[in-house]
Chains A and B, each alone.
Chain A
C-alpha cells in the first residue's frame, strides 16, 4: 500500500471516530488518544485536522498535546518499551535496566532506533508495584524484570 493511500485511510479512520463522538467540545483528549493510536504519533497535520474537526483553536490542541507526556509529536518505533521509574521499581533497580536497554539499543531514553523498530521511554508507575521492577512493551507488562532479561525480551519483538 502506498504511503499516501495509507495516510488517507488513517485520516478516514480518525474522521469516523470523531464523527462518532457525541460531545465534541469536551472530547479533545479522547480524540488525541485515538489519533495517536492510529498514527503512532501526533504530527502537525494530525493536530490541525483534530482542531478543525473539533472546532477548537490549534494553539489549544497543541497546548494539550505538549502538556501530557503520553502524547508525542515525534514518530515512535513499531514497539514502545517503557521502563517504570516509579518509586518501587526504582528502588528495585529499574535504573540499571534502563541503562541496559540504552546500551543494547544504542539510543537514549526518549529516542527511537534508526530502523524504526523500538522507542525507549520511561513512565511513573503502572500500578503493579508488587511486580517491581516493571517493564512494558506495547500493551504487555513484564514483572520482576532483570537486566539479564533485556536481550531476550528484545528478541521477542524482533
Chain B
C-alpha cells in the first residue's frame, strides 16, 4: 500500500491510500460527527453515505463530500469544520428532526440515542422546519423486539447487520421517497418472519426505531407482590458488561456488586444461570459421548443460544436432529427451580416468579415458547437491569461485593465461559475429557479454541481419540459451517454456535458497543478471569450439581432429566 499526503484542518498527515477521510481524520485525532456510518463486526464497514451528517469541505471541489465513503487522494486539502460544512451538517440534523417524533423524554433510547446526542452537540434549540411527519404502524408483535418506524432515520445499519453479518435478511428498505420504511417483506410483523430475535439490529440502531421489549414494570410488580417468591438468575455475560452502564470500563466483571444490587432491589433469592450452565454441560457432554459411542448423529451442535435455534428451525429443516436436545441454561434453571428447588424449600411453584437477566433479546422469546413456557416467567436484558438499578436509587459503585445464594447460585469456572464464543465448547471438553479418559485434566484451558474469530476449528486429543471441534459466532458464520455439514464436507464431532458475533458478551441486550469492538475483548477477558479465579473449574465437580443428581435427577439423560431438561425442535415455514 502506498501512502498519500493530505491536509486536514491545516494538519499535514500521511495515510494509506484507500483510507476514508473519516478514518484519516480520526488518525489525527479529528473526529467528524457521523450518523449512518458504523463499523460492524468482522471488519464490515457500513458507510452508505446516506445521512450526510459527516460532510466536509474539500478544496477545489464544488460539493461537500461525505467523509465516511470519500477516499483520500494525494494532495487533498480538507476542512472538516468550515462554516459551510458545519452549517450543512446542522441543516441535515434539523431536517432529520423535522420528521422525527420529538418525544425524547418518553423514548426507550433516551440518553442512548445518537440523533439526540448530535442535536445536543450541535446546540439545536428550535425545530426550524415543519412538515409532514411519518406515521407508520408500530410493530409490537414479538416478545423480543419492538419497531417504531416513525423514529427511523433510514441509516440502514440494521439492514446490513441482519443481511450481511447475520445473513438472515429480514429487513430491507421498502417503498420510496417519503414513504420509505425499513421493513420485512410485505410489511409483515416481525413475529411472522424468519427473524431470529438475536437483536443485533437493536444493537446498531442509532435511535429508538428498534428497541427491546421492556419488561421492567413486570419485574417491579412481581417484587412488590406480597405472596410471590421472586427469584432471579443472571447469565454469565451480564456481569462482564453491566459495569459499563455505570461508567466502569475497567474490563472487570462486576459479579459481586450485581448480586448486591439484585438483593437490594428485593429479590428473595439471587441465583446464577451459571449453575444451570454446569447442569447443561452434564447433560450435553453425556449426550455427546452417547452419540459418539453409539453411532448417533454427529456432529452434535450446542443448543444454548435461542437465536441460533430459531435460525436452524427456519432454514435447516433437514438438520433438526443435529443440535443437542438440551434446553438452554436459562430454561434448565427455571425447570429445576420450579420442580426441585420449590419442593426442597417447601414452596408452591405457582407462587414462584423466576426472573432472568440476560444479555440477549431472543431469551425473551425463548421463555415464551409453548413447549417450555412455564420455566421462566420474566426476562430482562442487561440494559433493563441497569435501568432498574438506577430507578431504585441504588448507588452501584458503593455496593459491597456479595455472594450468590445457595445452592442454585453455586457454579464453576467452566460455566462462566458460556458467555463468550468458544466457552460452551471449552466447558464441555473439560468434562468430556475426564469422562472419556477417566483421568484428571491437568490444564483446563483450551487456548486453541479461544479468540473472537468468526469461525475456529481445532482437533482435541482425548487419549487415543481425536475430537474435531468447530466454533462459529455470528449467524453468517454459522451458515457457512452448516452448509459444510449439509454438503458432507465436514467431519466434526462437536460444534458450538452462538448467534451474536463474539457470543453472548455482544448479545442484543448488552450495553451498546457503538462499533467499538475492543470492548468485546475486555468483556471476554472479564469472563476468562472469573473462570481462573474460581476454585472449581469443571462443571461435573460442582458440588451442588452432584447433589442435584443424587437427590433428584439420578444421572445425566435419565428419564426425569429428559423430561425436565431436554426439548425438541420444530421446522417453521418462513415467509
**A61 contact from B171, B175, B176, B185, Cβ within 8 A:** B185
- Which residues of chain B have a CB within 8 Å of any CB of chain A? 163, 169-176, 183-186, 575
Q: Is the CB of A59 within 8 A of B175?
A: no
Q: Is the CB of A58 within 8 A of B185?
A: yes
**B176 contact from A60, A62, A67, Cβ within 8 A:** A67
Query: Can you list 23 A-B contacts with CB-CB less than 8 angstroms, sorted by A residue number?
Result: A44-B186, A57-B163, A57-B172, A57-B185, A58-B575, A59-B174, A59-B185, A60-B169, A60-B172, A61-B185, A62-B174, A62-B185, A62-B186, A63-B172, A63-B173, A63-B174, A63-B185, A66-B174, A66-B175, A66-B176, A67-B173, A67-B174, A67-B175
Q: Is the CB of A59 within 8 A of B176?
A: no
Q: How far does the Cβ of A7 sit from chain B's closest Cβ, in whole Å?
A: 19
CB-defined contacts of A67 to chain B, threshold 8 Å: 173-176
Closest CB pairs A-B (n = 9): A57-B169, A59-B172, A62-B185, A63-B172, A58-B185, A59-B185, A66-B175, A66-B174, A67-B176
Q: Which residue of A lies closest to B193 (CB)?
A: A59
A-B contact sample (18 more), CB < 8 A, given A59-B163, A67-B173: A44-B186, A47-B186, A48-B575, A57-B163, A57-B172, A57-B185, A59-B169, A59-B172, A59-B183, A59-B184, A59-B185, A60-B169, A61-B185, A62-B174, A62-B185, A63-B173, A66-B175, A69-B176
CB-defined contacts of A62 to chain B, threshold 8 Å: 172, 174, 185-186
How distant is the Cα of A47 from the Cα of B188 in the complex, in angstroms? 14
- Which residues of chain A have a CB within 8 Å of any CB of chain B? 44, 47-48, 57-63, 66-67, 69
Q: Which residue of B lies closest to A73 (CB)?
A: B186
Q: Is the interface of A mostly helix, strand, loop or mixed?
A: helix
Query: For B171, B172, B175, B575, which residue has the most chain A Cβ atoms within 10 angstroms?
Result: B172
CB-defined contacts of B173 to chain A, threshold 8 Å: 63, 67
CB-defined contacts of B175 to chain A, threshold 8 Å: 66-67
How distant is the Cα of A71 from the Cα of B185 in the complex, in angstroms? 15
How distant is the Cα of A48 from the Cα of B194 in the complex, in angstroms? 13
How distant is the Cα of A57 from the Cα of B174 in the complex, in angstroms? 13
CB-defined contacts of A66 to chain B, threshold 8 Å: 174-176
Q: Which residue of A lies closest to B179 (CB)?
A: A66
Q: Which residue of A lies closest to B169 (CB)?
A: A57
CB-defined contacts of A69 to chain B, threshold 8 Å: 176
Q: Which residue of B lies closest to A51 (CB)?
A: B185
Q: How far does the Cβ of A54 sit from chain B's closest Cβ, in whole Å?
A: 13
CB-defined contacts of A48 to chain B, threshold 8 Å: 575
Q: How far does the Cβ of A86 sit from chain B's closest Cβ, in whole Å?
A: 18
How distant is the Cα of A56 from the Cα of B176 in the complex, in angstroms? 20
How distant is the Cα of A67 from the Cα of B575 in the complex, in angstroms? 20
CB-defined contacts of B169 to chain A, threshold 8 Å: 57-60
How distant is the Cα of A63 from the Cα of B179 in the complex, in angstroms? 12
How distant is the Cα of A59 from the Cα of B187 in the complex, in angstroms? 9
How distant is the Cα of A59 from the Cα of B175 in the complex, in angstroms? 12
Query: For A59, A62, A63, A66, which residue has the most chain B Cβ atoms within 10 angstroms?
Result: A59
CB-defined contacts of B184 to chain A, threshold 8 Å: 59
Q: Which residue of B lies closest to A60 (CB)?
A: B172
Q: How far does the Cβ of A28 sit from chain B's closest Cβ, in whole Å?
A: 12
How distant is the Cα of A31 from the Cα of B162 in the complex, in angstroms? 25
How distant is the Cα of A34 from the Cα of B159 in the complex, in angstroms? 27
CB-defined contacts of B185 to chain A, threshold 8 Å: 47, 57-59, 61-63
How distant is the Cα of A67 from the Cα of B175 in the complex, in angstroms? 5
Q: How far does the Cβ of B369 sit from chain A's closest Cβ, in whole Å?
A: 24
Q: Which residue of A lies closest to B168 (CB)?
A: A57
Q: Which residue of A lies closest to B163 (CB)?
A: A57
